[in-house]
């Protein structure tokens, strides 16, 4: 597991799209990329976050920045989530074990109501056109977050 740090290159670990295709961080080198990791499709905070990024999808595109939302939900569940909420931000499924979130230390032990479990820590990464981490937002609070990320993407140039 790597430590998330600005300036680090992302590991080139495959993710799966809702259509079953493979997508990798290296596919986006040459343009900026926002990876927003979220815990679970169709839960209140995750739905709001996905809708917020989707509402700004055209603005991100105008800033030459690709979007990719990532959770461990299966591709079929992502497809239903996209269709149900008319999401414009693309989604991808991370591997159950050994995935990108594991490699980045975003899949971690969490606690709720006295029990511990493994889960996704809501985290966003802004990746520069060089494929290196330009900005990290750990433990994201959803309100206003997509706008903050868009502003950072614009400033990255």
- Give the mean pLDDT of the chain: 95
Question: Contacts from 78-82 at CB under 8 Å and sequence distance 24+?
Answer: 78/17, 78/18, 78/41, 79/18, 79/19, 80/41, 81/41, 81/42, 81/47, 81/50, 82/18
Q: Please give the pLDDT value at position 2.
A: 66
pTM of the model: 0.94
Domains and CATH numbers, the chain: 15-142 (3.40.30.10)
Rounded Cα distance between 30 and 149, Å, is: 19
Q: Distance between alpha carbon 27 and the CA centroid of its chain, in Å?
A: 15
Structure tokens at 12: 């080139």
- pLDDT of 1 strictly over 70: no
Query: 65-71 and 15-16 as β-strands: parallel, antiparallel, unpaired?
Result: unpaired
Rounded Cα distance between 49 and 25, Å, is: 21
Q: Which residues are annotated as catalytic?
A: 46
The pLDDT tens digits of the residues spanning 120-156 come to 999 999 999 999 999 999 999 999 999 999 999 999 9
Neighbours of 117 (CB within 10 A): 8
Q: Please give the pLDDT value at position 112.
A: 83
The pLDDT tens digits of the residues spanning 94-124 come to 998 889 999 999 999 988 899 998 999 999 9
Q: Please give the pLDDT value at position 67.
A: 98
């Amino acid at each position: 597991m790597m430590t998330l740090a600005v300036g680090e290159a992302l590991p080139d670990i495959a993710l799966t799209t809702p259509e079953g295709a493979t997508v990798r961080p290296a596919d986006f080198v040459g343009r900026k990329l926002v990876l927003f990791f979220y815990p679970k499709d169709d839960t209140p905070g995750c739905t709001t976050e996905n809708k917020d990024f989707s509402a700004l999808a055209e603005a991100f595109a105008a800033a030459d920045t690709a979007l990719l939302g990532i959770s461990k939900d299966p591709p079929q569940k992502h497809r239903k989530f996209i269709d149900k909420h008319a999401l414009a931000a693309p989604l991808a499924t991370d591997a159950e074990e050994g995935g990108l979130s594991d490699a980045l230390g975003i899949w971690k032990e969490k606690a709720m109501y006295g029990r511990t479990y493994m889960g996704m820590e809501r985290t966003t990464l802004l990746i520069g056109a060089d494929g290196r981490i330009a900005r990290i937002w750990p433990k994201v609070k959803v309100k206003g977050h997509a706008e903050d990320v868009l502003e950072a993407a614009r400033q990255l140039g």
